[in-house]
Amino acid sequence: MPLYRVTREKLEAVKQTSFVDEKLLERRDLQRLLKSDISAIGDDLMVIAEEFGDWEESNRRIDLLCLDKQARLVVVEIKRTEDGGHMELQAIRYAAMVSSMTLDQVISTYARMLATPDPAVTARREILEFLELDSAEEAELTDEVRIVLVSSNFSAELTTSVIWLNRHGIDLTCIRFKPYRTADEVLIDVTQIIPLPEAEDYEIKVRAQAQEIKKVRSARQEIFRRFWAQYIERSRGTTTLYANRSTSSDHWLSAGIGRSGFGLNASLTEDRARIECFISMGKESEDRNKAAFRALRERRAEIEGAFGGALDWQELPNRIGCRICTDLPGGWKTPELEWPELQDRMLAVMIKFESALKGPIQALRQ
């Protein structure tokens, strides 16, 4: 479908062009622009390497290697062609090559991309901040690697292959970058074509079910999966925070509070449950995060009065984000028969937490 400009008299079609005609190259232009802002293809991604190729006996390079919020590696391959070539086969090979990477290797890889006085320390801090973890011990990378293919268009052969691979447990996404030319600028229409956004949740669930049938998850992951499934079910009728959430095998479950950069998280350690609001507005947002935290802390008496008790205000000076939280006794080692009582306590606190913070957060200046 064409892209249209709205004028006073009519809808005026914008001329479609090509990256070749506009002299936009894969590495020099598209890859560089996505490296600087990956949100065009996913707001849950963090770029950790460009032209990555840390393996022996191969001169091949991954265009962009990313990490997502579920601590999975993401291979991003970019083409400016009209058919995508055979990029899906190339990306699968890359995914296999990086599937055995450890978190320490990911941190080391990201550190090489940083131009800071102590890149290793900065890399560890920023990755843990992105994953919303307190320590590297809490993160567990698996061999599940996502693949994102970016191209001006995709051939029927490629899309058929991608759909088949998705049905067999490989997480592949195709995103079309369609360029248009106006009188003085180039516009890019970014569209996810596989999986279709409307069917993505369904396809993810089907794929997750197939994967769970084929392999046995670790005991702790299975505990988290069952715990959060029950937690979400028990939330129905008391709060809409988890109305659109599915269960998770992570140690935490997130919900929104109506403003980007402010996440409501419920999390578990062995013997502690935590309800928190984590403030993180993205990379290089430390000053804004601290300013928002301090503005909320100025209303501490009001917020804690609405909550009905004291809260733990953690500015986290050595991290980008800040945290407001409260802890409860009981964690993932709690006997399963006692889960309902723990879940009800967590939900009651979460509801009061959201009620006390939502108004002050919405009132913050941009």
**Domain limits of the chain?**
3-101+141-206, 217-362
Alpha-carbon gap, residue 261 to 265, rounded angstroms: 12
> At residue 16, what are phi and psi to the nearest 5 degrees?
-80, 140
User: Helix 339-362 and helix 300-307: axis angle, to 10°?
Assistant: 150
The torsion of the CA quartet 232, 260, 139, 113, rounded to 10 degrees, works out to 160
3-101+141-206 and 217-362 have identical folds: no
φ, ψ for residue 310, nearest 5 deg: -75, 150
What class, spelled out in words, does domain 217-362 have in CATH?
Answer: alpha beta
What pLDDT, on a 0 to 100 scale, did the predictor assign at position 211? 58
Taking 70 as the pLDDT cut, the residues of the chain under it are 1, 55-58, 136-138, 197-217, 366
| Three-class secondary structure of residue 238 per DSSP | coil
Identify how many contiguous H helices and E strands the chain contains and give both numbers.
10, 13
Distance, in Å, from the CA atom of 135 to the CA atom of 325, rounded to the nearest integer, reads 17
What pLDDT score was predicted for residue 344?
Answer: 96
pLDDT of residue 282: 78
Across 336-357, b (16+ Cβ under 10 Å) vs e yields: eeebeebbeebbebbebbbebb
CA distances from 223 to 121, 251, 275, 280 (A): 32, 9, 19, 28
Per residue in 303-316, is it b (16+ CB within 10 Å) or e — as a string? bbebbeeebebebb
pLDDT at 216: 41
pLDDT at 208: 62
Distance separating alpha carbons of residues 144 and 171, to the nearest angstrom: 8
Question: Smallest Cα–Cα separation from 30: which of 179, 158, 146, 155?
Answer: 179
DSSP alpha helix (H) spans, the chain: 32-36, 87-98, 103-111, 119-131, 156-167, 200-214, 219-235, 286-297, 300-307, 339-362
- Residue 294 has what pLDDT? 94
Q: What is the DSSP letter of 24?
A: -
- Classify domain 3-101+141-206 at the CATH class level: alpha beta
In this prediction the pTM is 0.57
